[in-house]
Amino acid sequence: MPPKRAAPTKSSGLRRNLVEAEILERAAQLFSERGYAATSLQEIAAELGISRSSLYHYFSNKEEMLIRLVSDLVLSSEVALKQMRAGGKGDATVRLRGAVEALLGPIIEAPNRFRLLLTVEAELPTPIARRWRETRRKIVAEVSEVIRDGVRSGRFRPIEEEVATFIVLGMCNWVAWWPDRQREDVEAVTRGIADIAVSGLAVGSAEGAPDSPAAVIAATREQLDRLEALIDS
């Protein structure tokens, strides 16, 4: 049975927060690389260079770690959603750029946690799983609305709304799998992907711009490859 954790004092609070943050980051990395079910508390402790009993002073079990990791990321996604909605009903290209920048924030800040969230969704405890699904549904709806408004106003080329929405979301999500060195320049990554999202849909943004979903996906992939190459150079 895990030992009882001592009540934190003011003097120990800061150190505890720092240690917990380090434990959670290492746990997120191991969970995303090896799988949540396949990673043991002993492996997490070994990765941190501490004993399993020392780990129990901070977390009682893996599920507690998972809930903390996912809760923090869901909260960040909820904040991103509020930022997207704050864009109001203005120009669709400006709103789409703002949406992409808002969505990329939590992903670039915590890529290990975001990869984990996508890979262990089926294993999440019910309350946090329900909260994440609802947040994700609202994000999809918000991006879809921006694209719909852009098409109706003539700022975006006619394209299937659902396809365009998931192209944009997929571009953002994929950053979590980039090598660390390609995420170092946060502003360049954010600006570059926002540019690609807007230019891929905007009317008259490029001569011979693709109109079919397959062509848009192919063009988007090519632009992302160029962006990765530029950041990696």
Between residues 5 and 154, which one has the greater pLDDT?
154
**Are 51 and 75 within one domain?**
no
Q: 54 and 94 share a domain? A: no
> What pairs with residue 156 in β-bridges?
202
Question: Rounded CA gap, 31 and 199, in Å?
Answer: 36
**At 87, is the pLDDT very low, low, confident or very high (cuts 50, 70, 90)?**
confident
Query: Tell me, what DSSP letter sits at residue 207?
Result: T
CB 220 within 8 A of CB 196: yes
- As for how many domains the chain has, the answer is 2
Q: Give the domain range for residue 191.
A: 70-232
Is pTM beyond 0.85 here?
no
Co-location of 76 and 142 in the same domain? yes
62 contact partners, CB below 8 Å, separation of at least 6: 27, 36, 39, 40, 41, 44
Q: Tens digit of pLDDT for each residue in 106-152?
A: 898 888 888 888 888 888 888 899 999 999 999 999 999 999 999 99
pLDDT above 70 (res 207)? no
More confident residue, 216 or 143: 143
Task: Looking at the structure, tell me whether residues 45 and 79 fall in a common domain.
Answer: no
Q: Quick check: is 1 in a domain?
A: no
Residues in the chain: 233
Containing 21, the helix (H) or strand (E) segment is helix 10-34
**Separation of first and last alpha carbons in the chain:** 51
Do 37 and 109 belong together in one domain?
no
CA Rg value for the chain: 20
Sequence-separated (6 or more) residues with CB below 8 Å from residue 71? 128
Please tell me whether residues 44 and 83 are part of one structural domain.
no
Q: Kindly state whether residue 4 falls inside one of the protein's structural domains.
A: no
In this structure, are 140 and 217 located in the same domain?
Answer: yes
Q: Is position 100 within any domain? A: yes
Q: Give yes or no: residues 192 and 148 share one domain.
A: yes
Q: 91 and 198 share a domain?
A: yes
Q: Does 33 share its domain with 122?
A: no
Residue 141 and residue 212 in one domain: yes
Residue 203 belongs to domain with CATH number: 1.10.357.10
Do 76 and 191 belong together in one domain? yes
- Least Cα distance to 96 among 176, 187, 201, 166 occurs for 201
Alpha helix (H) residue ranges in 86-125: 92-109, 111-119
Please check whether residue 28 lies inside any domain of the structure.
yes
Tell me whether residue 125 is exposed, middle or buried, using C-beta atoms within 10 angstroms of its C-beta: 0 to 12, 13 to 18, 19 or more: exposed
Q: Is residue 2 part of a domain?
A: no
Q: 150-203, pLDDT tens digit by residue?
A: 999 999 999 899 999 999 999 999 998 888 766 667 888 888 999 999 999 998
Q: Are residues 202 and 93 in contact, defined by beta-carbon separation less than 8 angstroms?
A: yes
CATH number at residue 36: 1.10.10.60
